[in-house]
Chains A and B, each alone.
Chain A
Amino acid sequence: MSAEPLLKVQDLSVTFRTGDRATVAAQGVSYELAAGEVLAVVGESGSGKSVTALALTRLLPPEPTCSLTGSVKLAGVELLGLPEAKLAKVRGGSIAYIFQEPGTSLNPVYTIGFQVGEAIALHRPDIKDVRAEVVRALAEVHINDPQRVADQYPHELSGGMQQRAMIAMALACDPKILVADEPTTALDVTIQKEIMDLLARLRRERGMSIILITHNFGIVANFADKVQVMWKGRIVEQGPVAEIMRTQTHPYTKALIACIPRLGQRRRRLTTLSDELKVSR
């Protein structure tokens, strides 16, 4: 692509310091993301995939506990080292996040309508009738009876409904990039499919880019354009999804794909990771 990519990450490293110990959570991460593209980041717990995504808008502890090096450019603007006030506009404004457990991401003592409304009022102060906008936002993520749901509390909704409400909140300010950190891991397969279909539709309609963090290769294969595999804080392999699903060069990627039970392929034993491939924790 000749034009400037929407997001360009170069040599990004994240280091945590506790006492006199330094832990490198991510190292030398570089990639580009075009508008409307879906990038899947695959890896196990502790591989650095979430930390790298949080580092984009520095949703991490301040210096000196956590230091970032490298470069993150959003539409040509460097985000690393941006003052906090400006960064706050990027968070939610240009790059929005949804997380694995909608139940813990939502505030239990406020109604859904209040929480979605808060996001809308904060990022789009020009909107007069926030309530109407909330109802419209909930309807857009296929919540039936949005008028009623707006007055409900998080515990009154199912996991799938909670995740929809989170997505509505994330979309409130029309982000360019949606970071979805294991958005369906806590959900049933059928609900998982509904949420992924919803994200696919939103991407199509809004031309939004998605960074999808997951360890489910099934979702990657059906949903993403390109994939990067993280292992011990580094990207060990990246490329178009079809290519990586067909041939894997890194043994970790091979093992990760091999250990998944697949429908209709009953095997005696599942493949497991060899000791040297395990993410040591």
Chain B
Amino acid sequence: MSDNLLEISGLSVHYPGRANWFFQKAAPKKAVDDISFVVPKGKTVGLVGESGSGKTTTGRAIVKLAPLTAGKITYQGQDIGTLSNAAFLPWRKKIQMIFQDPYNSLNPRADILSILSEPLEIHFPGMTRADREARCAELLRSVQLPAEHLRRHPHEFSGGQRQRIGIARALAVQPELIICDEPVSALDVSVQAEVVNLLQDLQEQLGLTYLFIAHDLAVVEHVSDHILVMSKGKIVEQGTPSEILGNPQQAYTKTLLAAVPRF
């Protein structure tokens, strides 16, 4: 087995275009268009690009939240792109996701205990209620929140705390790969720094692998071992952070770099 946890080759996600007035078939919208990359085990691969560049769709396609048009997704040598939803279930345990908006990704009517218990009920049906509660308390502590908060509801937390809860939920099933979809772009700079540090600490402690999707090049540069730059559904450039920053080849990467305010 290779050192690559995830290998993507020729991945495409096309959505049907709107048929026009004369019932002619419209050209499909190519959200992701024939991209290939690998995510090595224990590393962080950063994926940058603007809104609409296809970076989120790429992340979602890996966990079957977006339909695959073509291409192969290989996880530890296993082709997982063609599996049915039911057959994919064991991989949902290995691949988890953290979303951008901590306000909309937690059920407002559920308390933290049930939010964190749900993935455990699905993936560890053998666990007793007491086991689950103990595990949830441990999860909260691992994201540096007090275990007493289990009975609280999402509205009682700040944005940064909610994002920690989102991270705890992803960690619940002991995943290997976490797809972080803009995990810090909705947060204040100081809170952003805390969450970024937390993600890096967890990676070290648990040997996690990240696919880190963001539009802020400075954050991506900070966390990533390898950076992919996406534009209009294609990967236009990739390399180590110092290669991308020190010697950007593509005009698009240069624009992206120029847009980052410097001081």
Contact = CB atoms under 8 A, between A and B. Distances in A.
B263 A189 contact: no
A17 interface: no
Given A45-B159, A188-B215, A189-B215, A261 B221 contact: yes
Interface in B118-143: none
A214 B190 CA distance: 13
Interface string A235-262: 0000000000100000000011001111
Interface string B163-205: 0000000000000000000000000111111101100100000
Secondary structure class of chain A's binding surface, majority of residues = loop
A175 B51 CA distance: 32
A104 interface: no
Nearest to B245: A264
Interface stretch (A63-71, A76-84, A190-198): A190-198
Contacts of A193: 258-259, 261
Given A217-B263, A245-B263, A266 B241 contact: yes
A190 B218 contact: no
Contacts of B158: 45, 281
Contacts of A245: 263
Interface string A267-281: 101111100001001
Interface residues of B, number: 34
Interface in A174-202: 188-193
A161 B194 CA distance: 32
Across chains A and B, which 10 residue pairs bring their CB atoms closest together, nearest first? A218-B261, A221-B263, A270-B193, A259-B193, A261-B222, A189-B259, A193-B259, A190-B259, A44-B188, A261-B218
Contact of A263 (B190, B215, B260): B260
A264 B259 CA distance: 14
A221 B218 CA distance: 16
Contacts of B190: 44, 255-256, 259, 272-273, 278
Contacts of A270: 193, 196-197, 222
A5 interface: no
B109 interface: no
A60 interface: no
Contacts of B159: 45
Contacts of B216: 189
A222 B263 contact: yes
Interface string B228-259: 00000000000001000110000000011111
Contacts of A190: 50, 255-256, 259
22 contacts: A44-B188, A44-B191, A45-B158, A188-B215, A190-B50, A193-B259, A193-B261, A216-B261, A217-B263, A259-B192, A260-B189, A260-B193, A261-B219, A262-B263, A263-B257, A263-B262, A264-B245, A264-B246, A269-B200, A270-B222, A271-B193, A272-B193
